[in-house]
Amino acid sequence: MSMFDGFKFRSVNSSVHKMDPRAKFIYVCVMFAVAVMFSQIIPLLVLLIIQMPLVFAARVQKEWLRSMKGAAGFAIIIFLMNVFSLYFYGNYESLSAIVERSFALTLRFMVLIESFSVFFLTTSPDLLGLALEQSRVPYELCFAFTTAVRFVPVLAEEAQTIMDAQKARGLELEGGSFIKKIRNYIPILIPLIVNAIRRSLELAETMESRAWGATQNRTNLYVLRMGRKDFLLMLFSFAMLVVSVYVSLNVQIPNIIYLLNI
């Protein structure tokens, strides 16, 4: 159970998964912009909560929670760093003001993690590659992206096999100083790299044999088309942006300590 599992695509049959990655990408960008616009607790808390319906609609609560838990460790570090730096370098009148601001900045981090997690949890690499292609990213780059994703599990398995094979020959992986530990991994890295090079040659040969580069006007088995839900999501993102800009310019957002009269 690593934090990264909270970002790894899970195939679930939900309407969020079926949405156009481009629409979701716009949503993530807006979330990012809005989160950076505010540095008070209340609006950031709103941002954190407002995304929850999306998580539930996508039925990825478990994975999402995992990403949030994983991020919690970082969040604590961010919080403490903020408290320290604001205490020594900021000119805040009270400690509670410092804590409030640090907490807000930590919340901002959580909001960003939340929207990234939703995006990556619900967007299949396949669709993402297709979205890149249709956004006029050069095909070579899109191809490199999907191929990289395709070979991650293969390379992981290969690394495991090599590790087992070398251990069976008496390679000691654990123990020793830091430098020693890195040195220990050389007998694993070298075969891994050699294999990867050999594999890439074979792949290149196969690509050539499948008419790679035959025409500039490459076609695609699928086309992404924006549907009603995608337009709704984009509309929502746009509305969010407008409201946020308005609020940040015209509304004086009260501090919690002020409200509580501490």
Site string for another protein, 186-225 (x = CB under 8 A): -------------x--xxxxxxxxxxxxxx-xxxxx-x--
Instruction: Name the residue nearer to another protein (CB basis): 134 or 147.
Output: 147
Instruction: Pick from 40, 134, 146, 184 the residue near another protein by CB under 8 A.
Output: 146
Q: Is 154 in the site for another protein (CB under 8 A)?
A: yes
Q: Which of residues 61-100 bind another protein (CB under 8 A)?
A: none
Residue 167 vs 218, nearer CB to another protein: 218
Q: Please tell me whether residue 8 binds another protein under the rule CB under 8 A.
A: no
Read out DSSP for the chain?
--GGGGTS------HHHHS-HHHHHHHHHHHHHHHHH--SHHHHHHHHHHTHHHHHHTT-HHHHHHHHHHHHHHHHHHHHHHHHHHHHHS--S-HHHHHHHHHHHHHHHHHHHHHHHHHHHH--HHHHHHHHHHTT--HHHHHHHHHHHHHHHHHHHHHHHHHHHHHHTT---S-S-HHHHHHHTHHHHHHHHHHHHHHHHHHHHHHHHTTTTS-SS---S------HHHHHHHHHHHHHHHHHHHHHHH--PPPHHHHHT-
Binding status of residue 10 toward another protein by CB under 8 A:
no
C-beta of 61 vs 200, nearer to another protein: 200
Q: Is 13 in the site for another protein (CB under 8 A)?
A: no
Q: Residues in the site for another protein, rule: CB under 8 A?
A: 124-126, 129, 143, 146-147, 149-150, 153-154, 199, 202-215, 217-221, 223
